[in-house]
């Protein structure tokens, strides 16, 4: 279950993705990318794939993508998701 907001990435980095995952009562994926017309659907599928891996059916996912490859996007989604699931202790820096 998604307990809290999980984030991964920096909105400004090139060839990278920013992902924010929040609790929700349905599945909503918001995608912002200059490549929307080319890859909008594919990006959404890639996000769903990761959610499926963790059996998550309800979440509000925000993706701000800047020309990154699929495995980078999926790594960011997974990182944000595991953060949101509270699986990872925040590292004391």
Partner 1 sequence: MKFRLRRSGLYVSGTDTKKMVDCGVYGADSVVLDLETSVPTSQKSFARILVKRALKKVNFYDSEVTVRINPIETFGEEDLHEIVQNKLNVVMIPEVSNNKTIKRLDSLLSDLEDERSITHKISIIPLIEDAIGLLSVEKIVEASERIVALTLDADDYLLSISGSRTKNEGELIYAKSKIVSVAKAYGCQAIDSVFLDENDDEGLYKESLAAKRMGFDGKRIVNPNHIEIVHRVFTPSLESIERAKRIMSEYKKNPDRKYLFLDGEIVRKAEIESAKRLLRGVF
Partner 2 sequence: MEFVENSIGRLVPTEIDGRKLKPFKGAFAFKPKKRRSAFALEFAAREKLLPSIKDAIEAVGFEDGMTISFHHHLREGDYVLNMVLDIIAKMGFKDITLAASSLFNSQSEHLIKYIKEGVITAIEGGSLRGKLGAYVTTKNPLKKPVFVRSHGDRVRAIKTGEVKIDVAFIAAPTADEYGNCNGVEGKSACGPLTYSHVDAHYADNTVVITDNLVPYPATPITISQEYVDYVVKVDSIGDPAKIVSESTVITKDPVSLLIAKRAMKLIESSGLLKDGFTFQAGAGGISLAVTKYIHDYIKKENIVGNFGMGGTTKYLVKMLEDGVMRKILTVQAFDLYCIKSLKEDYRHTEISTSLYANIFSKGCAVNKLDIVVLGATEVDTKFNVNVNTHSDGLLLHPTGGHQDTAAGAKLTIITAPLKRGRIPVIVEDVTTVTTPGETVDAVVTERGIAINPRRNDLLEAAKRKKLPVKTIEELKNEAYKICGKPNPPKTTEEIIGLIEYRDGTIIDVVRQVKKSTSGIF
**Maximum distance among all Cα pairs of the chain, rounded to whole angstroms:** 41
Residue pair 21/81 in contact (Cβ under 8 Å)? The answer is: yes
Given partner 1, partner 2, none, residue 6, with its beta carbon under 5 to 8 Å by kind, binds: none
The DSSP-derived string for 55-88 is: T---EEEEEEESS--HHHHHHHHHHHHHHHTT-S
The reply on whether position 78 binds partner 2 by CB under 8 A is: no
- What's the N-to-C CA distance of the chain in angstroms? 27
CB of 77 to partner 1, least distance (A): 9
Residues 14-43 that bind partner 1 (CB under 8 A): 14-16
Binding residues (CB under 8 A) for partner 2: these are 14-15, 28-42, 44, 67-70
Binding residues (CB under 8 A) for partner 1: these are 8-9, 13-16, 68-72, 74-76, 78-79, 82, 88, 91, 93
């Amino acid at each position: 279950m998604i307990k809290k907001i999980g984030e991964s990435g920096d909105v400004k980095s090139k060839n990278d993705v920013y992902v924010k995952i929040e609790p929700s009562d349905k599945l909503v994926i918001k995608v912002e990318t200059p490549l929307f017309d080319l890859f909008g659907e594919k990006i959404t599928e890639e996000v769903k794939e990761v959610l499926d891996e963790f059996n998550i059916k309800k979440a509000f996912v925000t993706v701000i993508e800047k020309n990154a490859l699929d495995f980078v996007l999926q790594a960011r989604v997974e990182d944000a998701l595991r953060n949101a699931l509270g699986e990872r202790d925040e590292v004391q820096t």
